């Protein structure tokens, strides 16, 4: 068994690689523009240059590593990057995904798991009412804001076609807000700042109301879900919500203050909510892989201690 992790030096990707290495699973990291400092911390994994938008680049990786049996695909442009360059977004997020589907069929992978997104459910909880959103819920295009989310929706649609036509093992998860230290890009940098800033003795500014509600999951738990789903011999469904803790911004701040009582927060009360759903149900994935994400409080502690360790500070 060898697992190719595209985007393996990214925020979630690096956590996936560490998880696999800890299990003793051989890993190939495929990255287009890697952070070499991150790669250095992932010693034990092979590295290959990879541009998923280029089918020949994808084939070169498989030619050099014919032992690859599984893939966790995380090479994607985030929402802000897509809006800034739509053409590049389509190449990476749609054509790149299709190139990986094609490779999964051609090389008879046992499983390809990719990260979709909760943004496939649109930009508002109001579509669903006051209840957790489940996998079979659907949001029409009129209720979407992020091009990124519509791309994920299209990728899921195409992925199902590959499963139907070729029988290839493909599945996806739909992460909500993934938090942790080390996020470098994207439109939710506040998912790092809320805990990293107080960990370093600085105030945190959140660009939404204290009453805004979102579902949060710690990056290592998201990685564990992806790895378990990828390595499971068979799965019952194509799509899985990751789930997590559905809390208000005020409750999020309280979780930080459990460990850092002096932490300071400011909120933007002119923005009553984030353009995301409020509650995501993760029961399907929990049942499939037998894993329950840690509590918000424990995840926040891990996040804080990552930031403090990097700064040479004592853990909390």
Q: Which domain holds residue 118?
A: 3-179+216-243
- Asked whether the beta carbons of 13 and 33 are under 8 A apart, the reply is no
Q: Would residue 309 count as lying in a domain?
A: no
Q: Which residue ranges in the chain fall short of pLDDT 70? A: none
**pLDDT value of position 184:** 81
Q: Would residue 152 count as lying in a domain?
A: yes
**pLDDT value of position 238:** 98
Q: Would residue 305 count as lying in a domain?
A: no
Please choose, from the candidates 252, 254, 257, 255, the residue with its C-alpha nearest in 3D space to the C-alpha of residue 212.
Answer: 252
Q: Which helix (H) or strand (E) holds 71?
A: strand 70-73
Q: Would residue 110 count as lying in a domain?
A: yes
Q: Partners of 171 in the beta sheet?
A: 113
Q: Which helix (H) or strand (E) holds 199?
A: helix 190-199
**pLDDT value of position 122:** 96
Q: Which CATH number is 95's domain given?
A: 3.40.50.720
Q: Would residue 42 count as lying in a domain?
A: yes
Integer Cα distance of 50 and 62 in angstroms? 10
Q: What are phi and psi of 40, to 5 degrees?
A: -65, -30
How many domains are there within the chain?
1
Q: Would residue 114 count as lying in a domain?
A: yes
Integer Cα distance of 146 and 118 in angstroms? 11
Please choose, from the candidates 134, 47, 118, 44, the residue with its C-alpha nearest in 3D space to the C-alpha of residue 275.
Answer: 118
Crossing angle between the packed helical segments 219-231 and 11-22, to the nearest 10 degrees: 60
**pLDDT value of position 34:** 87
Angle CA(242)–CA(153)–CA(106) in degrees, nearest 5?
90
Q: Which helix (H) or strand (E) holds 99?
A: helix 96-106
**pLDDT value of position 186:** 74
Q: Would residue 264 count as lying in a domain?
A: no
């Amino acid at each position: 068994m060898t697992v190719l992790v595209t985007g393996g030096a990214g925020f979630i990707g690096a956590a996936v690689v560490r998880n696999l290495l800890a299990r003793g699973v051989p890993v190939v990291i495929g990255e287009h523009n890697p952070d070499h400092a991150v790669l250095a911390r992932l010693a034990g994994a092979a590295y290959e240059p990879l541009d998923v938008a280029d089918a020949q680049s994808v084939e070169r990786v498989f030619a050099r590593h014919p032992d690859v049996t599984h893939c966790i695909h995380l090479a994607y442009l985030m929402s802000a990057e897509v809006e800034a360059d739509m053409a590049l977004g389509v190449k990476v997020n749609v054509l790149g995904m299709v190139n990986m589907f094609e490779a999964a069929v051609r090389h008879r992978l046992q499983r390809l798991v990719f990260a979709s997104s909760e943004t496939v459910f649109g930009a508002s909880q109001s579509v669903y009412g006051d209840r957790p959103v489940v996998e079979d819920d659907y949001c029409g295009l009129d209720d979407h804001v992020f091009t990124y989310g519509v791309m994920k929706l299209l990728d899921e649609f195409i992925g199902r076609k590959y499963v139907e036509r070729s029988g290839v093992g493909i599945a996806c998860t739909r992460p909500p807000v993934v938090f942790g230290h080390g996020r470098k890009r994207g439109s939710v940098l506040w998912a790092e700042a809320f805990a990293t800033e107080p960990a370093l003795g600085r105030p945190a500014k959140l660009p939404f109301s204290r009453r805004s509600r979102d579902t949060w999951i710690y990056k290592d738990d998201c990685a564990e879900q992806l790895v378990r789903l990828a390595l499971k011999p068979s799965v019952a469904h194509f799509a899985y919500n990751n789930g997590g803790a559905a809390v208000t911004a005020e409750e999020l701040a309280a979780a930080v203050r459990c460990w850092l009582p002096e932490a300071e927060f400011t909120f933007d009360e002119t923005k009553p909510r984030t353009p995301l759903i409020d509650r995501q149900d993760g029961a399907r994935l929990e049942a499939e892989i037998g894993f329950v994400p840690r509590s918000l409080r424990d995840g926040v502690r891990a996040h804080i201690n990552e930031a403090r360790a990097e700064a040479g500070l004592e853990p909390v």
